[in-house]
Structure 1
Amino acid sequence: MCGRFSLIQSADALAAFFELSEIERHEPRYNIAPTQPILMVAAGDGTGRPRGTNLPDRRALLVRWGLLPSWIKDPRDFPLVINGRSETAQQKASFRGPMRHWRTLVPASGFYEWRRTGRGKPQAYWVRPRDGGIVAFAGVMDSLLAADGSEIDSGAILTTSANAALAHIHHRMPVVIRPQDFSRWLDCRTQEPRHVTDLLVPADPDFFEAVPVSDRVNKVSNMGPDLQEHVDIADENTEVAGDELEDGNQLSLF
């Protein structure tokens, strides 16, 4: 499950990691929430590598976090789909087309997850790569032609079963695509979904570390680096309260 994540690395760092010829400058984002614009990396238009470089044909773009399939009539009548189960994505109507034609990478510094125990309020964790680097989640996107003629690009993050290190927090986690597999995952011209199912597996148990953090991350309006500071779990779990995030039932979507 992935209901919030963060992207704090610079544009230069992202360009180097994803081998991009260009990417827009951006501010660090510590609390990215559903329906907000998120960065995705997709294959280029097929014209080949950018001139004068040895870089692969890739592009970075901003999309709405919350998949809107191209076939829906009214986005207002469609549920918020921020994640999709990788195990069944090829069979689901909302994901079948994007899995075949629009596989993407979602750059992140890590993600937030909540552990529920009894009636106490959920404990938030900041889950990040142990080396502190950039991580690429498996994503898909689609493009919807709205009634007013505008085009809405939107996407979702694919999830899988949690690995042994994170299963005590939540039973799902985002699929991580390794750099050596970027090209194969993004190649929707020659690689059908069945050719990349081997990539849709949990990350190695030692890839992530989970840091307990304050429930300030529950509020979208809280956006500072303090959201990722370690807290004492005992102090954070003394109050019995509601167990939903500020903006709805994101914790139980999938």
Structure 2
Amino acid sequence: MCGRYFLNLDENIEEIKKILDEISQKYEKSPILQKVKSGEIFPTEFVPSIVSKDFQREAEILRWGLPLQNKKEVIINARAETILEKPLFSSMISNRCLIPAQGFFEWKKNGSKKQKFFIKPKDCNVFYMAGLYKRVELEGGILVDSFVILTTEPAEEIKHIHSRMPVILKKEYEDLWLFENVSQRALRDLFLRILKPWEGEMEIIEVKNN
């Protein structure tokens, strides 16, 4: 699974600055802009994302996690292998998004203890995870767009840490994920091709005192 990830909005990276500038202009007078999180991202927090608007990339603020009915818990992940079979996720299949990140966190069980790791594709400053989103109603009748992160089998290098990992899209697959509008059968073939474990080298850092 992917239970936390990292995105530093203060870092001087052109790709991040472009997304943040677009969001700042769009939400200039909205209080939701002050809720956008930077650093280690937790479920239910508001974060920058990329969605498809008129077949163009558009920066947007989304909330991580779909609330369960009458419960405080949220659904934060969706298995890439079954998104077309599960009614909740198949109903969201037209609302695909890219979630920018600089790394994600995973925990390895060691008896009664857990060791935290920071993981990212090597030599990659920013990458995009595949997501699905939908409009949901929070307590008080507040409407927000909320997303889940797709997961897949782990890359070879991190199998010893966890049995799942977020779907990190190759650059050439990002627009295919966002914009492709084809039949259900063609979508199934496309997803099999692009929603796969990361094939490049991974950077794995043990996180101390967490």
TM-score higher than 0.5 here?
yes
CA deviation vs aligned residue, 1:184-239 (integer Å, no higher than 9, x gap): 11015347532421111100141x211001243xxxxxxxxxxxxxxxxxxxxxxx
- Within the candidate set 40, 43, 47, 1:31 is matched to 40
Match of 2:198 in 1: 203
Summarize the alignment of residues 66-85 of structure 1 with structure 2, pairs less than 5 Å apart: 66-68=65-67, 75-77=69-71, 79-85=73-79
Match of 2:95 in 1: 102
Please state how far the C-alpha of 1:93 moved relative to its aligned partner: 1.9
Summarize the alignment of residues 22-171 of structure 1 with structure 2, pairs less than 5 Å apart: 22-24=22-24, 29-44=38-53, 46=54, 57-68=56-67, 75-77=69-71, 79-99=73-93, 101-119=94-112, 121-145=113-137, 150-171=142-163
5+ residue gaps, structure 1, are: 49-56, 69-73, 217-254
Please state how far the C-alpha of 1:151 moved relative to its aligned partner: 2.1
Please state how far the C-alpha of 1:75 moved relative to its aligned partner: 4.5
Change (3 A) 1:153 1:169: same
Aligned partners of 1:184 and 1:191 also within 8 Å:
no
Aligned partners of 1:105 and 1:138 also within 8 Å:
yes
- Within the candidate set 172, 177, 182, 1:185 is matched to 177
CA deviation vs aligned residue, 1:16-67 (integer Å, no higher than 9, x gap): 6x8x9934399882211011112221111x2x6xxxxxxxx11111111102
Aligned partners of 2:23 and 2:48 also within 8 Å:
no
Question: Does the alignment pair 1:13 with 2:22?
Answer: no
Aligned partners of 1:11 and 1:23 also within 8 Å:
no
* SS at structure 2 position matched to 1:171: coil
When the two structures are aligned, how many residues end up with a matched partner?
196
**Identical-pair percentage:** 31
User: In the aligned structure 1, how far is the partner of 2:46 from the partner of 2:133?
Assistant: 12
Taking only aligned residues, the RMSD between alpha carbons, in angstroms, comes to: 2.8
The one-letter code sitting in structure 2 at the alignment partner of 1:185 is: W
The structure where helix makes up a greater share of residues is 2
Aligned partners of 2:66 and 2:136 also within 8 Å:
no
Please state how far the C-alpha of 1:135 moved relative to its aligned partner: 1.0
The one-letter code sitting in structure 2 at the alignment partner of 1:66 is: G
User: In the aligned structure 2, how far is the partner of 1:21 from the partner of 1:190?
Assistant: 32
* The structure with more radius of gyration: 1
Match of 1:237 in 2: none
Aligned partners of 1:125 and 1:210 also within 8 Å:
yes
The one-letter code sitting in structure 2 at the alignment partner of 1:31 is: E
Change (3 A) 1:5 1:147: closer
Change (3 A) 1:40 1:180: same
Aligned partners of 2:99 and 2:130 also within 8 Å:
yes
* SS at structure 2 position matched to 1:113: strand
Please state how far the C-alpha of 1:112 moved relative to its aligned partner: 0.6
The structure where strand makes up a greater share of residues is 2
